[in-house]
Amino acid sequence: MPDKRVKVRVEHVQKTFYERFLQALRRHTEDQNQKFVIYKAHAGLKNYPLEVRSIADLKHIHGASELLLFYF
């Protein structure tokens, strides 16, 4: 009888941290324009398929601007 296959998923810890940080930042921001910029960065981060290991990796994500890099 063949062994049962196991599917292993890698959890992106740093990526999850940045996603939660952007969600909290968006909740506490009052400016609508700033909220939209944060929303675009969050959507780009969710669609980014690779692990985010450093702040420098955030530059490769669509929607993350220099203003958001200031917060990190």
CATH number at residue 65: 1.10.150.110
The average pLDDT across 20-26 equals 89
Domain limits at 52? 13-71
Query: What is the count of structural domains for the chain?
Result: 1
Residues 6 and 23: their CA atoms lie apart, in Å, by 33
| Domain annotation covers residue 49 | yes
Residues 39 and 65: their CA atoms lie apart, in Å, by 12
| Domain annotation covers residue 1 | no
| Domain annotation covers residue 35 | yes
- Model confidence at 27, in pLDDT bands (50, 70, 90)? very high
User: pTM of the full predicted structure?
Assistant: 0.69
Q: How far is CA 71 from CA 25, 58, 65, in A?
A: 9, 12, 11
- Model confidence at 71, in pLDDT bands (50, 70, 90)? low
| Domain annotation covers residue 25 | yes
Residue range 33-68, pLDDT digits in tens? 889 888 988 898 888 888 888 777 877 787 776 565
| Domain annotation covers residue 50 | yes
